[in-house]
Copies of this chain bind each other. A is one copy, B any other.
């Protein structure tokens, strides 16, 4: 929650670069110019060069970027090769969807355990270690963890976030659509607000109809 030197918009574009570089690799492309990459991503070549200049620039004027090299540099900046640990709080439909389908490993994160009330244990099956939420503090004492994924009901989000921070969690990935209040500045909160995305879609639909 500190102000950072590199703009959030640049950071948020990096994963998109990585996705497009992966597509290029799949297509057998090993070198790409900023204008070619820009065309695929609906960005201008100058915006791309500007983004990469935030990190010292990666290209050689006139030669374009080596796809594999660029990908690995961006991945390093994003910490994708670092090993982070995570737990997930809430094993309802959304929690289970994330446990079963989301590729944490591709982001450099290992999902280690799920927490909920005991009767949700069966829903998880063998996919992941399951603990009753009462065991949270003990678990975190024995297994220091970087990130907690919040997929519990909205009305429990604020209390749980503070409980997690008290138990040493420093990163919260928040799917509850609640703006968490009073979280210390050294804790990073990343909100996934589905509604922001749907409202943006609405807006652009209306624009198209004009």
A1 CB contact (under 8 Å) in B1, B3, B42, B92: B42
Q: Are A147 and B93 in contact (CB under 8 A)?
A: no
Report the minimum CB–CB distance from A188 to chain B (whole Å): 4
Taking A80-B202, A171-B201, A205-B171 as contacts, is the C-beta distance between A195 and B94 under 8 angstroms?
A: no
Nearest B residue to A202 via CB reads B79
A168 interfacial contact with B, CB 8 Å: no
Q: Are B203 and A78 in contact (CB under 8 A)?
A: yes
Q: Are B201 and A147 in contact (CB under 8 A)?
A: yes
Binding-face segment, A15-23, A64-72, A113-121: A15-23
Copies of this polypeptide in the complex: 2
29 A-B pairs whose Cβ atoms sit less than 8 Å apart in the complex: A2-B207, A3-B42, A8-B200, A9-B9, A11-B200, A12-B200, A15-B196, A15-B199, A16-B193, A19-B179, A78-B199, A79-B199, A79-B202, A92-B101, A93-B94, A94-B97, A97-B97, A106-B195, A107-B198, A107-B199, A108-B202, A171-B202, A173-B197, A186-B208, A188-B201, A190-B198, A190-B200, A191-B197, A192-B192
Cα separation A100 to B194 with both chains bound (whole Å)? 14
Interface of chain A, main secondary structure: helix
Interface size on A, residues (CB 8 A): 64
